[in-house]
């Protein structure tokens, strides 16, 4: 058993939902049924994971943005941590309608968030009445919760990494509409046809979500590092050529 397969099994990635809740389109990814629970074929998980890693590493090396999306309680902390670790934007509280399809509005709201931070950081806040200060603080807290993870999203992402596309159906719809690629951890109750690169696995267990998300973030970091190394080598080569000419 390879080290990756061992890790996946230990994290419980192979445990699906109750058989009564399954989506028949997930049949190719299911290994067996035990005690009314579907068991996911870990070989299919590995296959999906390797395809996703290759793709993410490639687009990250080209400087593309990847948006991490996971708003369910079990995923929120992991999504934030792994997105931050690989320097990518994330949504882990609530998917705002139009995040992709009305991106200009989202950018203007981010500008408003920065404006509120400026007001709160200086003496300007004290010039407002107590009632207005309270209203501004409420507005800031709500906007920070919804938008903070998207500060670095200065343009539309090339791809979305999604934990549970059934839960994040609005994100999936917007991505489809704009032709943004989707990589998703999908459980046995999901429709694999709705995402581009499905990774069959348990999307409710924190350990499962942590392991899959970490592997994908590592792939992004590897792509970024490869691009940085190539850029450095190219710069050194140009310097060397210039030196030879002089």
pLDDT, tens digit (0-9, with 9 covering 90-100), for 52-99: 999 999 999 999 999 999 999 999 999 999 999 999 999 999 999 999
* Chain segment 166-189, per-residue pLDDT in tens: 999 999 999 999 999 999 999 988
Domain 102-153 bears CATH identifier 3.10.110: no
Class in CATH terms, 3-100+156-237:
alpha beta
Strand order in the sheet with 30-34: 15-18, 37-40, 30-34
- Count of CB atoms within 10 A of residue 111's CB? 9
What is the secondary structure of 28-89 as a DSSP string?
Answer: GGEEEEETTEEEE-HHHHHHHHHHHHHHHHHHHHTT--EEEE--SHHHHHHHHHHHHHTT--
According to DSSP, the β-strands at 15-18 and 37-40 are antiparallel
Domain ranges across the chain:
3-100+156-237, 102-153
Q: What is the pLDDT of residue 191?
A: 93
79 close to 68: Cβ distance less than 8 angstroms: yes
**Helix segments in the chain, DSSP class H:** 3-10, 42-61, 73-85, 103-121, 130-147, 169-178, 206-245
């Amino acid at each position: 058993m390879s080290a990756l397969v061992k890790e996946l099994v230990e994290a419980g990635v192979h445990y699906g939902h109750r058989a009564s809740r399954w989506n028949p389109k997930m049949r190719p990814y299911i290994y067996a049924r035990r005690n009314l629970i579907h068991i996911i074929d870990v070989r299919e998980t590995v296959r999906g994971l390797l395809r996703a890693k290759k793709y993410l590493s490639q687009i990250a090396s080209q400087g593309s943005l990847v948006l991490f999306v996971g708003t369910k309680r079990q995923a929120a902390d992991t999504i934030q941590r792994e997105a931050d670790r690989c320097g990518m934007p994330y949504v882990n509280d609530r998917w705002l309608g139009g995040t992709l399809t009305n991106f200009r509005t989202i950018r203007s709201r981010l500008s408003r968030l920065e404006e509120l931070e400026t007001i709160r950081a200086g003496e300007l806040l004290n010039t407002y009445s107590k009632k207005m200060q309270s209203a501004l603080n409420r507005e800031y807290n709500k906007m920070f919760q919804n938008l903070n993870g998207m500060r670095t999203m200065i343009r539309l992402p090339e791809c979305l990494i999604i934990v549970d596309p059934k839960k994040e159906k609005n994100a999936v719809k917007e991505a489809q509409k704009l032709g943004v690629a989707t990589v998703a951890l999908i459980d046995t109750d999901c429709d694999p046809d709705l995402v581009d690169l499905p990774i069959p696995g348990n999307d409710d267990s924190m350990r499962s979500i942590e392991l899959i998300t970490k592997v994908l973030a590592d792939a992004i970091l590897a792509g970024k590092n490869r691009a940085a190394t190539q850029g450095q080598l190219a710069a050194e080569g140009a310097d060397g050529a210039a030196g030879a000419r002089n």
